[in-house]
């Protein structure tokens, strides 16, 4: 079984070169490193290989080496037409897992492979500028030719005790997804409601009635949401809707499972605060949609691509 957000369907790279010019470090695993070493050697280009792929002094997280940058900061293999030389000359299979996968975000879960996209890609951001809420698709087929299993996140709730909230993670994720997309409330209200719901979940007694109590709480929430009057609809995507898509996409990436309920709600509130502050600091709102898009792209980079920094922040108690 495959589960993915509907925006993944028909996604195609627009070859803008943005991901190849970001200031992140593109790492490769050990297998990719030696595969490239053989390919370069067979073509008498071992000297270029030693310049292009540099071993890391500290290895971990499946990272063995990294790809060097050109003088302008772009990837070593990026040519002036925004195409990858390595891809063109050696083929798609020669690429490392990151370059094969990005901006797709695959996850390994107990209910199947799950997939969404990264907002740091301009082509993804363009697909997200729609009015319709994001929807989860369940299918026997993945809308992408998976080349290897290199997952960005994992979730196996069944391995948790039935007295632990994360044992019911899929129900919680679906519920949180619905709250963040409840347009009968403004975003401030949705996040406050989500935070209150997390607090209620954490206060449920860890006994044989935990599952039933959790479902009762969610049913009460749905009744409250149903009672609210729907806000005025729009025919066009607004900055507020784009932010909604970003937060819904973030929830689908399994942060509540991987970071915990309390830490994730704190992170969501922090992200929302930073988005609002950045929008207020903007000199002009004549291009509010464009400004919001840039803010979200930076936010995605900060809180998803720099995951190790985020985890260190959690570990050191600095997530607030």
| Domain endpoint, select from 100, 124, 144 | 100
Residues 62, 9, single domain; the answer is no
Which helix (H) or strand (E) segment is 28 a member of? strand 27-28
pLDDT above 70: residue 149: no
13-69 confidence digits (pLDDT tens):
888 888 888 777 788 888 889 999 999 999 899 999 999 999 888 776 667 888 999
208 domain residue, yes or no: yes
116 and 161 share a domain?
yes
Neighbours of 88 (CB within 10 A): 11
103: preceding bond cis by omega (within 30 degrees): yes
Mean pLDDT on 188-200: 97
Does residue 317 share a domain with residue 225?
yes
> Looking at the structure, do residues 127 and 266 belong to the same domain, yes or no?
yes
33 vs 89: CA distance, rounded Å: 17
Residue 22 lies in a domain: no
Q: What is the pTM of this model?
A: 0.86
* 255 CB burial (10 A radius; 0-12, 13-18, 19+): buried
Position 111 in a domain = yes
Please give the helix or strand (H or E) that residue 109 lies within, else none. Answer: strand 104-109
Note whether 126 and 264 are same-domain residues. Answer: yes
Task: Looking at the structure, tell me whether residues 252 and 214 fall in a common domain.
Answer: yes
Residues 57 and 162 in one domain: no
From 100, 124, 155, give the residue that closes a domain: 100
The reply to whether 56 and 76 lie within a common domain is yes
| Residue 19 within a domain | no
Mean of the per-residue pLDDT values of the chain = 87
**Phi, psi (deg, nearest 5) at residue 80:** -60, -15
Same domain, 166 and 151: yes
Residue 261 reports pLDDT greater than 60: yes
Point out the domain boundary residue: 100, 124, 158. Answer: 100
- Looking at the structure, tell me whether residues 271 and 152 fall in a common domain: yes
280: domain range? 1-14+103-320
Same domain, 57 and 110: no
Sheet holding 53-60, edge to edge: 27-28, 63-67, 53-60
**Are residues 235 and 201 located together in one domain of the fold?**
yes
User: How many domains does the chain divide into?
Assistant: 2
């Amino acid at each position: 079984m495959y589960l993915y957000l509907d925006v993944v369907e028909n996604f195609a790279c627009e070859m803008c070169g943005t991901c190849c010019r970001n200031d992140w470090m593109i790492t490769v695993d050990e297998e990719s490193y030696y595969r490239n070493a053989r390919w370069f050697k067979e073509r008498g280009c071992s000297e270029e290989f030693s310049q292009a792929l540099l071993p890391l002094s500290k290895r971990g997280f499946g990272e063995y080496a990294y790809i060097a940058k050109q003088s302008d900061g772009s990837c070593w293999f990026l040519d002036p037409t925004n195409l990858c030389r390595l891809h063109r000359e050696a083929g798609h299979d020669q690429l490392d897992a990151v370059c094969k996968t990005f901006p797709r975000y695959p996850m390994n879960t107990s209910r199947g492979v799950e997939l969404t996209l990264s907002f740091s890609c301009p082509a993804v951001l363009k697909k997200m500028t729609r009015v319709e809420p994001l929807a989860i698709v369940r299918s026997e087929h993945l809308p992408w030719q998976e080349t290897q299993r290199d997952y960005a996140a994992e979730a196996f709730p069944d391995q948790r005790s039935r007295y632990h909230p994360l044992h019911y993670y899929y129900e919680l994720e679906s519920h949180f997804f619905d709250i963040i997309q409840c347009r009968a409330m403004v975003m401030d209200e949705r996040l406050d409601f989500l935070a209150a719901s997390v607090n209620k979940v954490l206060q449920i007694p860890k006994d044989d009635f935990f599952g039933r109590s959790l479902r009762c709480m969610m049913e009460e929430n749905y009744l409250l949401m149903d009672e609210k009057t729907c806000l005025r609809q729009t025919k066009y995507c607004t900055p507020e809707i784009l932010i909604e898509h970003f937060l819904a996409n973030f929830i689908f990436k399994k942060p509540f499972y991987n970071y915990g309920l309390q830490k994730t709600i704190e992170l969501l509130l922090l992200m929302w605060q930073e988005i609002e502050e950045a929008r207020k600091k903007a000199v002009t709102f004549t291009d509010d949609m464009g400004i919001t898009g840039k803010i979200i792209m930076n936010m995605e980079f900060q809180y998803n691509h720099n995951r190790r920094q985020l985890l260190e922040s959690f570990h050191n108690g600095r997530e607030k």
